[in-house]
């Protein structure tokens, strides 16, 4: 078999994975309204893709305040928790493993989405950044709107966010998830605290690198206390600058965070790597440095071909490889790689976000047995 490393088993703490394929988190905006409630269509979607060694769910808000985009699911009401059981049951019945990605978008939101003013580490809006709503466009497409200026978070706000992450983790385990991933990447709340250009605080949460990683560590500690370190992963995006997140100190800050996260014994770090054609490449020097500072599992995600993935695994700087878009149109992506089968292409980008039917979501065909 080609790319044997991708098909080798892996032990993620106490969780046994059947291969090294990770289905990366991808926002699809299919939750039932009102209430941002998961549903059977979502369960079908994830169940179809249970041949991945690990599924990381779409980003899921820990509170209404943490929501940034229309129709994304939540994990903070009893109805949401109960509905997520449809998903976890389906994945587990198909032999899969699934973590829930916990999300607070911070300043990347609009009152048109939540009815609330966004929060951020500082009262600095994200330039040239939009979120989407569904306002009845004839073709059902999302409509993009600018983010609103955020309010600087108070100490009470920070405490509420830490508690919300902790409760969301408990809710996720109650819903049957194998663990959770804390979203600290891509310009959302925890990433905003990490970066010197979005975090201008002068209290204990801003200024130095040590202070800027404080909220990430407090959230992670609270989640570890709630559900155990073996069930917790953290996602970071050191080389991604969109959503007005260009910080010259971020690489050093990420390394400092990695040391502290390693001391907490979490299951993994998940590197979100840029996936567009002319995106910056992650240097091997960075990967080796991160490996020297973080002793547990490292996941790398970002437009990788199987050959790239196998070569990266061979360096031992990462342990699992995330694939995103390929899983959208190829529910059986690992099998297609194994037998060198042709891949389905995404047929209609209008169905990537939103839609209440199977079209462009669960209707991509698998290979016949």
233-270 confidence digits (pLDDT tens):
999 999 999 899 999 999 999 999 999 999 999 999 99
Question: Is the confidence at residue 187, as pLDDT, over 90?
Answer: yes
pTM exceeding 0.85: yes
Q: Indicate the SS3 state at residue 242.
A: coil
Tokens 């995006």 belong to residue: 237
- Provide the sign of the torsion angle of the four alpha carbons 79, 73, 23, 165, taken in this order: negative
The answer to the question of residue 367 being in a domain is: no
pLDDT of residue 24: 97
Confidence check: pLDDT of 181 > 70: yes
Contact 296, 229 (CB under 8 A): no
Return the CATH number at 290.
3.20.20.70
User: What is the DSSP track for 124-177?
Assistant: ---TT-EEEE----TT---EEEEPPPPEEPPHHHHHHHHHHHHHHHHHHHHTT-
Residue 366 lies in a domain: no
d(CA 206, CA 195): 9
Q: Which two tokens stand for residue 357?
A: 């039917």
> pLDDT tens, 99-154?
999 999 999 999 999 999 999 999 999 999 999 999 876 667 889 999 999 999 99
Q: Are 298 and 290 in contact (CB under 8 A)?
A: yes
Q: Are strands 54-61 and 21-23 parallel, antiparallel or unpaired?
A: parallel
Q: Indicate whether 89 belongs to any domain.
A: yes
Total of domains in the chain: 1
Distance CA 2, CA 14 (A): 28
Quickly state the pLDDT bin for 369 (edges 50, 70, 90): low
Tell me, what's the pLDDT at 140? 74
Q: Is 357 part of any domain?
A: no
Nearest to 53 by CA among 5, 95, 102, 14: 95
Residue 145, classified by CB atoms within 10 Å of its CB into exposed (0-12), middle (13-18) or buried (19+), is middle
At 237 the pLDDT is: 95
Give domain status of residue 312, yes or no. yes
- Over residues 272-319, the pLDDT tens digits come to 997 766 667 899 999 999 999 999 999 999 989 999 999 999 999 999
Among residues 92, 97, 59, the alpha carbon closest in space to that of 75 is found at 59
Pick from 93, 80, 49: nearest CA to 174: 80
Least confident of 150-159, 171-180, 240-249: 240-249
Where in the sequence numbering do the catalytic residues fall?
188
Residue 363 domain-assigned (yes or no): no
Note the pLDDT of residue 110. Answer: 98
The whole domain housing 110 covers 4-351
CA distance 4 to 101: 28
pLDDT (tens digit, 9 = 90+) per residue, 270-284? 999 977 666 678 999
Domain membership flag for residue 147: yes
Q: Mean per-residue pLDDT for 182-209?
A: 98
Angle formed by the axes of helices 214-227 and 250-263, to 10°?
30
Give a yes or no: residue 368 inside a domain. Answer: no
């Amino acid at each position: 078999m080609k790319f044997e490393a991708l098909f080798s088993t892996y032990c993620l703490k106490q969780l046994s994975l059947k291969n090294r394929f990770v289905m990366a988190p991808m926002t699809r905006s299919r939750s039932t309204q009102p209430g941002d409630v998961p549903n059977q269509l979502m369960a079908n979607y994830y169940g179809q893709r249970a041949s991945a060694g690990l599924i990381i769910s779409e980003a899921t808000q820990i509170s209404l305040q943490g929501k940034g985009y229309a129709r994304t699911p939540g994990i903070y009401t009893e109805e949401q928790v109960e509905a997520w059981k449809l998903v976890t049951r389906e994945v587990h019945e198909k032999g899969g493993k699934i973590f829930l990605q916990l999300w607070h978008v911070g300043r990347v939101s609009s009152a048109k989405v939540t009815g609330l003013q966004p929060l951020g580490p500082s009262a600095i809006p994200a330039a040239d950044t939009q979120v989407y709503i569904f306002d009845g466009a004839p073709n059902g497409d999302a409509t993009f709107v600018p983010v609103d200026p955020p309010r600087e978070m108070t100490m009470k706000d920070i405490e509420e966010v830490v508690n919300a992450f902790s409760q969301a983790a408990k809710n996720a385990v109650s819903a049957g998830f194998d663990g959770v991933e804390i979203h600290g990447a891509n310009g959302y709340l925890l990433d905003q605290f990490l970066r010197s250009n979005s975090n201008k605080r002068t209290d204990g949460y801003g200024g130095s690198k040590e202070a800027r990683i404080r909220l990430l560590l407090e959230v992670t500690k609270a989640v570890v206390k709630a559900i155990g370190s073996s069930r917790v992963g953290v996602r970071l995006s050191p080389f991604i600058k969109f959503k007005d997140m260009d910080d010259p100190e971020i690489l050093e800050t990420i390394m400092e965070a990695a040391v502290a996260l390693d001391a907490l014994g979490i299951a993994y770090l998940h590197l979100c790597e840029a996936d567009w054609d002319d995106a910056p490449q992650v240097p091997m020097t960075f990967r080796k440095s991160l490996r020297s500072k973080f002793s547990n599992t490292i996941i790398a995600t970002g437009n990788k071909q199987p050959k790239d993935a196998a070569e990266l695994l061979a360096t031992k700087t990462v342990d699992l490889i995330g694939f995103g878009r390929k899983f959208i149109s190829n529910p059986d992506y690992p099998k297609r790689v194994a037998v060198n089968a042709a891949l389905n292409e995404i047929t209609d980008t209008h169905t990537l976000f939103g839609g209440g039917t199977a079209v462009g979501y669960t209707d991509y065909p698998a290979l016949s047995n």
